[in-house]
Protein backbone atom coordinates (compact mmCIF):
# COMPACT_ATOMS: atom_id res chain seq x y z
CA UNK A 1 0.00 0.00 0.00
CA UNK A 2 1.48 3.39 -0.99
CA UNK A 3 2.19 6.10 1.54
CA UNK A 4 -0.58 8.20 0.02
CA UNK A 5 -3.21 6.51 2.18
CA UNK A 6 -3.59 4.42 5.31
CA UNK A 7 -6.06 1.94 6.69
CA UNK A 8 -9.27 2.80 8.52
CA UNK A 9 -8.08 1.55 11.90
CA UNK A 10 -4.83 3.50 11.99
CA UNK A 11 -6.27 6.71 10.61
CA UNK A 12 -9.32 6.60 12.87
CA UNK A 13 -7.06 6.31 15.90
CA UNK A 14 -5.06 9.31 14.69
CA UNK A 15 -8.24 11.29 14.02
CA UNK A 16 -9.75 10.59 17.42
CA UNK A 17 -6.45 11.47 19.06
CA UNK A 18 -6.44 14.71 17.07
CA UNK A 19 -9.86 15.69 18.40
CA UNK A 20 -9.26 14.28 21.87
CA UNK A 21 -7.47 17.33 23.20
CA UNK A 22 -8.55 18.43 26.64
CA UNK A 23 -9.88 21.76 27.79
CA UNK A 24 -6.63 22.17 29.74
CA UNK A 25 -4.62 21.88 26.54
CA UNK A 26 -6.81 24.52 24.92
CA UNK A 27 -6.42 26.90 27.85
CA UNK A 28 -2.65 26.64 27.51
CA UNK A 29 -2.66 28.00 23.94
CA UNK A 30 0.10 30.33 22.88
CA UNK A 31 -0.13 33.96 23.92
CA UNK A 32 -0.02 35.12 20.31
CA UNK A 33 -3.49 33.75 19.72
CA UNK A 34 -5.08 35.50 22.67
CA UNK A 35 -5.54 39.21 23.18
CA UNK A 36 -3.10 41.93 22.30
CA UNK A 37 -2.41 42.66 25.98
CA UNK A 38 -3.08 45.84 27.98
CA UNK A 39 -6.65 45.95 26.69
CA UNK A 40 -5.63 46.05 23.02
CA UNK A 41 -7.45 43.76 20.64
CA UNK A 42 -5.64 41.50 18.19
CA UNK A 43 -5.46 43.01 14.72
CA UNK A 44 -3.30 40.39 12.99
CA UNK A 45 -4.98 37.01 12.68
CA UNK A 46 -2.85 33.90 12.22
CA UNK A 47 -4.41 31.25 10.00
CA UNK A 48 -3.75 28.25 7.78
CA UNK A 49 -4.48 28.31 4.07
CA UNK A 50 -5.18 25.74 1.36
CA UNK A 51 -2.86 24.93 -1.55
CA UNK A 52 -4.02 26.34 -4.85
CA UNK A 53 -7.25 27.70 -3.40
CA UNK A 54 -8.50 31.00 -2.00
CA UNK A 55 -10.23 30.84 1.36
CA UNK A 56 -13.05 33.22 2.20
CA UNK A 57 -10.95 35.21 4.71
CA UNK A 58 -8.27 35.64 2.03
CA UNK A 59 -10.91 36.82 -0.42
CA UNK A 60 -12.40 39.17 2.20
CA UNK A 61 -8.98 40.67 2.90
CA UNK A 62 -8.30 41.24 -0.80
CA UNK A 63 -11.70 42.88 -1.26
CA UNK A 64 -10.99 45.24 1.63
CA UNK A 65 -13.72 43.81 3.84
CA UNK A 66 -11.54 43.17 6.90
CA UNK A 67 -11.03 46.82 7.77
CA UNK A 68 -7.95 47.31 9.94
CA UNK A 69 -7.35 43.57 10.32
CA UNK A 70 -4.56 41.71 8.54
CA UNK A 71 -4.08 38.01 7.97
CA UNK A 72 -0.83 36.20 8.73
CA UNK A 73 -0.46 32.92 6.86
CA UNK A 74 1.42 30.32 8.94
CA UNK A 75 1.18 27.37 6.55
CA UNK A 76 -1.40 25.15 4.88
CA UNK A 77 -3.80 22.90 6.71
CA UNK A 78 -3.90 19.15 6.06
CA UNK A 79 -7.53 18.74 7.15
CA UNK A 80 -10.41 20.43 8.93
CA UNK A 81 -9.83 18.60 12.24
CA UNK A 82 -6.20 19.67 12.21
CA UNK A 83 -7.19 23.26 11.41
CA UNK A 84 -9.63 23.62 14.30
CA UNK A 85 -7.19 21.92 16.67
CA UNK A 86 -4.63 24.59 15.76
CA UNK A 87 -7.16 27.30 16.57
CA UNK A 88 -8.30 25.61 19.79
CA UNK A 89 -4.74 25.31 21.10
CA UNK A 90 -3.81 28.88 20.21
CA UNK A 91 -1.49 28.24 17.27
CA UNK A 92 -3.86 30.19 15.03
CA UNK A 93 -6.73 32.57 15.68
CA UNK A 94 -9.38 30.77 13.65
CA UNK A 95 -9.80 27.46 11.91
CA UNK A 96 -12.45 25.76 9.81
CA UNK A 97 -13.84 22.26 9.69
CA UNK A 98 -16.83 20.06 8.98
CA UNK A 99 -19.49 20.76 11.59
CA UNK A 100 -19.35 17.19 12.86
CA UNK A 101 -15.66 17.63 13.66
CA UNK A 102 -16.55 20.78 15.60
CA UNK A 103 -19.14 18.79 17.56
CA UNK A 104 -16.51 16.16 18.34
CA UNK A 105 -14.02 18.78 19.54
CA UNK A 106 -16.66 20.53 21.65
CA UNK A 107 -17.61 17.20 23.23
CA UNK A 108 -14.08 17.01 24.66
CA UNK A 109 -14.96 20.23 26.55
CA UNK A 110 -12.81 22.44 24.34
CA UNK A 111 -14.13 26.01 24.87
CA UNK A 112 -14.74 26.91 21.23
CA UNK A 113 -17.55 28.53 19.31
CA UNK A 114 -18.47 28.44 15.61
CA UNK A 115 -18.87 31.99 14.29
CA UNK A 116 -19.73 31.68 10.57
CA UNK A 117 -20.30 29.02 7.90
CA UNK A 118 -17.60 28.92 5.24
CA UNK A 119 -18.39 25.99 2.96
CA UNK A 120 -21.38 23.93 2.06
CA UNK A 121 -23.17 21.83 -0.48
CA UNK A 122 -25.23 22.99 -3.43
CA UNK A 123 -25.68 22.02 -7.07
CA UNK A 124 -22.23 23.44 -7.89
CA UNK A 125 -20.23 22.73 -4.74
CA UNK A 126 -20.57 19.14 -3.60
CA UNK A 127 -18.60 15.98 -2.92
CA UNK A 128 -19.17 13.13 -5.35
CA UNK A 129 -18.33 9.49 -4.70
CA UNK A 130 -16.80 8.41 -7.99
CA UNK A 131 -16.00 5.05 -9.51
CA UNK A 132 -14.35 4.13 -12.80
CA UNK A 133 -16.65 4.13 -15.81
CA UNK A 134 -16.47 0.34 -16.14
CA UNK A 135 -16.73 -0.38 -12.40
CA UNK A 136 -19.28 -3.03 -11.36
CA UNK A 137 -20.26 -0.86 -8.39
CA UNK A 138 -23.81 0.41 -8.91
CA UNK A 139 -25.38 0.37 -5.46
CA UNK A 140 -24.65 0.67 -1.76
CA UNK A 141 -24.48 -3.11 -1.36
CA UNK A 142 -21.85 -3.29 -4.09
CA UNK A 143 -19.53 -1.36 -1.75
CA UNK A 144 -19.13 -4.28 0.66
CA UNK A 145 -15.48 -5.25 0.75
CA UNK A 146 -14.49 -2.23 -1.31
CA UNK A 147 -12.10 0.67 -0.56
CA UNK A 148 -13.32 4.28 -0.44
CA UNK A 149 -10.68 7.02 -0.51
CA UNK A 150 -11.36 10.34 1.25
CA UNK A 151 -9.41 13.26 2.68
CA UNK A 152 -9.79 12.32 6.36
CA UNK A 153 -11.75 9.92 8.54
CA UNK A 154 -14.53 10.74 10.96
CA UNK A 155 -15.38 13.91 9.09
CA UNK A 156 -17.73 15.07 6.31
CA UNK A 157 -16.93 12.38 3.72
CA UNK A 158 -17.24 9.45 6.09
CA UNK A 159 -20.41 10.85 7.67
CA UNK A 160 -22.06 11.15 4.27
CA UNK A 161 -20.92 7.64 3.33
CA UNK A 162 -22.43 6.23 6.53
CA UNK A 163 -25.71 8.02 5.87
CA UNK A 164 -25.77 6.70 2.29
CA UNK A 165 -25.21 3.12 3.44
CA UNK A 166 -27.83 3.41 6.18
CA UNK A 167 -30.46 4.95 3.92
CA UNK A 168 -29.91 2.15 1.44
CA UNK A 169 -30.64 -0.57 3.97
CA UNK A 170 -27.18 -1.65 5.12
CA UNK A 171 -26.94 -2.54 8.79
CA UNK A 172 -23.98 -1.38 10.87
CA UNK A 173 -22.41 -4.83 10.62
CA UNK A 174 -22.47 -4.62 6.84
CA UNK A 175 -21.34 -1.01 6.75
CA UNK A 176 -18.20 -1.94 8.65
CA UNK A 177 -17.19 -4.06 5.66
CA UNK A 178 -16.76 -0.91 3.58
CA UNK A 179 -13.15 0.20 4.10
CA UNK A 180 -12.48 3.93 4.32
CA UNK A 181 -8.96 5.08 3.50
CA UNK A 182 -7.21 8.43 3.75
CA UNK A 183 -6.10 9.77 0.38
CA UNK A 184 -4.86 13.36 -0.13
CA UNK A 185 -7.46 15.11 -2.33
CA UNK A 186 -4.85 16.07 -4.94
CA UNK A 187 -4.03 12.36 -5.39
CA UNK A 188 -7.55 10.90 -5.30
CA UNK A 189 -8.19 10.98 -9.04
CA UNK A 190 -4.86 9.33 -9.82
CA UNK A 191 -5.21 6.69 -7.09
CA UNK A 192 -8.73 5.83 -8.34
CA UNK A 193 -7.59 5.50 -11.94
CA UNK A 194 -4.71 3.27 -10.82
CA UNK A 195 -7.33 1.04 -9.12
CA UNK A 196 -5.72 1.32 -5.71
CA UNK A 197 -9.15 2.31 -4.40
CA UNK A 198 -12.62 1.44 -5.70
CA UNK A 199 -14.32 4.75 -4.92
CA UNK A 200 -12.82 8.22 -4.64
CA UNK A 201 -14.45 11.20 -2.96
CA UNK A 202 -13.92 14.26 -5.12
CA UNK A 203 -15.15 17.77 -4.49
CA UNK A 204 -14.96 21.27 -5.91
CA UNK A 205 -12.24 22.15 -8.34
CA UNK A 206 -10.54 18.74 -8.11
CA UNK A 207 -13.84 17.01 -8.87
CA UNK A 208 -14.56 19.07 -11.95
CA UNK A 209 -11.04 18.60 -13.26
CA UNK A 210 -11.27 14.83 -12.77
CA UNK A 211 -14.68 14.63 -14.46
CA UNK A 212 -13.37 16.68 -17.39
CA UNK A 213 -10.70 13.99 -17.83
CA UNK A 214 -13.39 11.37 -18.49
CA UNK A 215 -13.42 7.71 -17.53
CA UNK A 216 -15.20 8.09 -14.19
CA UNK A 217 -18.84 8.33 -13.10
CA UNK A 218 -20.61 9.30 -9.87
CA UNK A 219 -22.16 6.68 -7.62
CA UNK A 220 -23.85 9.38 -5.51
CA UNK A 221 -23.11 12.79 -3.98
CA UNK A 222 -23.81 14.57 -0.72
CA UNK A 223 -26.08 16.95 -2.65
CA UNK A 224 -28.10 13.99 -3.96
CA UNK A 225 -28.38 12.68 -0.43
CA UNK A 226 -28.92 15.77 1.70
CA UNK A 227 -29.70 18.67 -0.62
CA UNK A 228 -28.38 22.17 -0.06
CA UNK A 229 -26.81 22.88 3.33
CA UNK A 230 -23.88 24.62 5.00
CA UNK A 231 -21.44 21.93 6.09
CA UNK A 232 -18.53 23.62 7.85
CA UNK A 233 -17.81 26.60 10.07
CA UNK A 234 -14.95 28.76 11.25
CA UNK A 235 -14.35 28.49 15.00
CA UNK A 236 -12.58 30.65 17.55
CA UNK A 237 -11.95 30.05 21.23
CA UNK A 238 -14.44 31.54 23.67
CA UNK A 239 -11.60 33.35 25.39
CA UNK A 240 -10.44 34.99 22.17
CA UNK A 241 -14.00 36.05 21.36
CA UNK A 242 -14.47 37.56 24.84
CA UNK A 243 -11.18 39.49 24.72
CA UNK A 244 -11.47 40.61 21.08
CA UNK A 245 -15.14 41.25 20.32
CA UNK A 246 -14.55 44.08 17.83
CA UNK A 247 -11.96 42.04 15.96
CA UNK A 248 -14.29 39.05 15.81
CA UNK A 249 -17.15 41.23 14.57
CA UNK A 250 -14.99 42.77 11.84
CA UNK A 251 -13.68 39.35 10.78
CA UNK A 252 -17.04 37.58 10.71
CA UNK A 253 -18.85 40.42 8.96
CA UNK A 254 -16.03 40.72 6.42
CA UNK A 255 -16.20 37.01 5.62
CA UNK A 256 -20.00 37.29 5.34
CA UNK A 257 -19.57 40.10 2.79
CA UNK A 258 -17.09 37.95 0.84
CA UNK A 259 -19.60 35.07 0.76
CA UNK A 260 -22.23 37.31 -0.77
CA UNK A 261 -19.74 38.97 -3.14
CA UNK A 262 -18.79 35.54 -4.50
CA UNK A 263 -22.46 34.54 -4.70
CA UNK A 264 -23.57 37.62 -6.66
CA UNK A 265 -20.51 38.37 -8.81
CA UNK A 266 -20.13 36.80 -12.28
CA UNK A 267 -18.19 33.54 -12.00
CA UNK A 268 -15.49 34.66 -14.43
CA UNK A 269 -14.81 37.73 -12.29
CA UNK A 270 -14.57 35.64 -9.10
CA UNK A 271 -12.12 33.25 -10.77
CA UNK A 272 -10.03 36.15 -12.07
CA UNK A 273 -9.89 37.65 -8.58
CA UNK A 274 -8.90 34.32 -7.03
CA UNK A 275 -6.20 33.79 -9.64
CA UNK A 276 -4.79 37.24 -8.94
CA UNK A 277 -4.75 36.53 -5.18
CA UNK A 278 -2.89 33.23 -5.61
CA UNK A 279 -0.31 34.82 -7.90
CA UNK A 280 0.25 37.78 -5.57
CA UNK A 281 0.89 35.67 -2.49
CA UNK A 282 3.87 33.98 -4.14
CA UNK A 283 3.59 30.43 -2.78
CA UNK A 284 4.57 28.77 -6.07
CA UNK A 285 1.07 27.36 -6.64
CA UNK A 286 -0.63 26.19 -9.82
CA UNK A 287 -3.63 28.38 -10.68
CA UNK A 288 -4.92 26.16 -13.51
CA UNK A 289 -7.51 24.39 -11.38
CA UNK A 290 -9.16 27.67 -10.33
CA UNK A 291 -10.97 27.77 -13.68
CA UNK A 292 -13.23 25.00 -12.35
CA UNK A 293 -14.45 27.02 -9.33
CA UNK A 294 -18.25 27.33 -9.18
CA UNK A 295 -19.36 28.14 -5.62
CA UNK A 296 -18.39 28.13 -1.94
CA UNK A 297 -21.69 26.36 -1.31
CA UNK A 298 -22.70 28.31 1.80
CA UNK A 299 -26.46 27.94 2.20
CA UNK A 300 -27.57 30.81 4.42
CA UNK A 301 -27.23 34.51 3.60
CA UNK A 302 -23.95 35.88 4.94
CA UNK A 303 -22.97 32.49 6.31
CA UNK A 304 -25.32 32.70 9.28
CA UNK A 305 -25.52 29.41 11.17
CA UNK A 306 -28.69 27.49 12.00
CA UNK A 307 -29.37 24.70 14.51
CA UNK A 308 -30.02 22.14 11.78
CA UNK A 309 -26.46 22.48 10.48
CA UNK A 310 -25.17 20.97 13.73
CA UNK A 311 -28.13 18.78 14.72
CA UNK A 312 -27.59 16.38 11.80
CA UNK A 313 -24.08 15.60 13.00
CA UNK A 314 -25.02 15.56 16.69
CA UNK A 315 -27.46 12.78 15.81
CA UNK A 316 -24.91 10.95 13.63
CA UNK A 317 -22.17 11.00 16.27
CA UNK A 318 -24.66 10.00 18.95
CA UNK A 319 -25.81 7.01 16.92
CA UNK A 320 -22.18 5.96 16.44
CA UNK A 321 -21.55 6.23 20.17
CA UNK A 322 -18.83 8.86 19.72
CA UNK A 323 -20.68 11.38 21.88
CA UNK A 324 -23.36 10.90 24.51
CA UNK A 325 -26.91 11.46 23.32
CA UNK A 326 -28.06 14.84 24.63
CA UNK A 327 -24.55 15.82 25.75
CA UNK A 328 -24.57 18.94 23.56
CA UNK A 329 -27.22 21.26 22.17
CA UNK A 330 -26.85 22.65 18.67
CA UNK A 331 -27.56 26.22 19.80
CA UNK A 332 -24.66 26.11 22.27
CA UNK A 333 -22.11 25.33 19.55
CA UNK A 334 -22.31 28.54 17.56
CA UNK A 335 -23.12 32.25 17.65
CA UNK A 336 -24.37 34.68 15.03
CA UNK A 337 -23.86 37.60 17.40
CA UNK A 338 -20.83 38.94 15.51
CA UNK A 339 -22.25 38.61 12.01
CA UNK A 340 -23.23 42.14 11.07
CA UNK A 341 -24.03 41.41 7.43
CA UNK A 342 -27.38 42.92 6.47
CA UNK A 343 -27.64 44.94 9.69
CA UNK A 344 -26.74 48.26 8.10
What CATH number does the domain containing 71 carry?
3.40.190.10
Q: Of 195, 226, 257, which residue is a domain's last?
A: 226
| Interacting residues of 287 by C-beta distance below 8 A, sequence separation 6+ | 52, 275, 278, 279
pLDDT tens across 240-270, in order?
999 999 999 999 999 999 999 999 999 999 9
> In whole angstroms, what is the distance from residue 208 CA to residue 137 CA?
21
pLDDT at 2 over 80: no
Task: Report the range of poorest mean pLDDT among 13-22, 183-192, 232-241.
Answer: 13-22
Residues 277-290 have a mean pLDDT of 91
> Domain of 189?
127-226
Kindly indicate the confidence band of residue 316, based on its pLDDT and cuts at 50, 70 and 90. confident
> Could you read off the pLDDT of 85-134 as tens digits, one per residue?
999 999 999 999 999 999 999 999 999 999 999 999 999 989 999 999 99
Rounded to whole angstroms, how far apart are CA atoms 61 and 55?
A: 10
**61 plus 110 within the same structural domain:** yes
Answer yes or no: is pLDDT of 29 > 80: no
Closest to 222 in 3D by CA, of 309, 122, 77, 306: 122
- Please write the tens of the pLDDT for every residue from 137-191: 999 999 999 999 998 887 789 989 999 999 999 988 888 899 999 998 889 999 9
pLDDT tens digits, 208-221: 889 999 999 999 99
Please tell me what DSSP assigns to residue 233.
E
| Inside any domain, residue 340 | no
- Does residue 338 form part of some domain? no
What is the pLDDT, as a whole number, of residue 344?
54
Q: Are the C-beta atoms of 91 and 33 separated by less than 8 Å? A: yes
pTM of the model: 0.82
Lowest average pLDDT, out of 8-22, 206-220, 278-292, goes to 8-22
Q: Pick the last residue of a domain from 226, 256, 290.
A: 226
Per-residue pLDDT tens digits for 58-85 = 999 999 999 999 999 999 987 888 899 9
Q: Are residues 110 and 171 in the same domain?
A: no
The domain total for the chain is 2
pLDDT for 81 equals: 86
In terms of domains, do 32 and 131 share one?
no
Report CA Rg, the chain. Answer: 20
Task: Note whether 176 and 190 are same-domain residues.
Answer: yes
| Domain co-membership, 221 together with 308 | no
Amino acid sequence: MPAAFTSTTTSRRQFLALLGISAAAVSCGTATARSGGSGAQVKTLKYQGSVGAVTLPELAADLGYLGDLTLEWVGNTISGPQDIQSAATGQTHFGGAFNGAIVKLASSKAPIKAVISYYGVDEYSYSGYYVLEDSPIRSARDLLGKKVGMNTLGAHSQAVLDIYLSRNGLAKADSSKVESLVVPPVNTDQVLRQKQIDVGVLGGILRDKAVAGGGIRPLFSDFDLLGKFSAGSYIMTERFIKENPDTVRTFVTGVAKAIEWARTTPREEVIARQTEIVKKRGRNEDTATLQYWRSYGVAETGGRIEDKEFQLWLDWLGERGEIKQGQLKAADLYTNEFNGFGKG
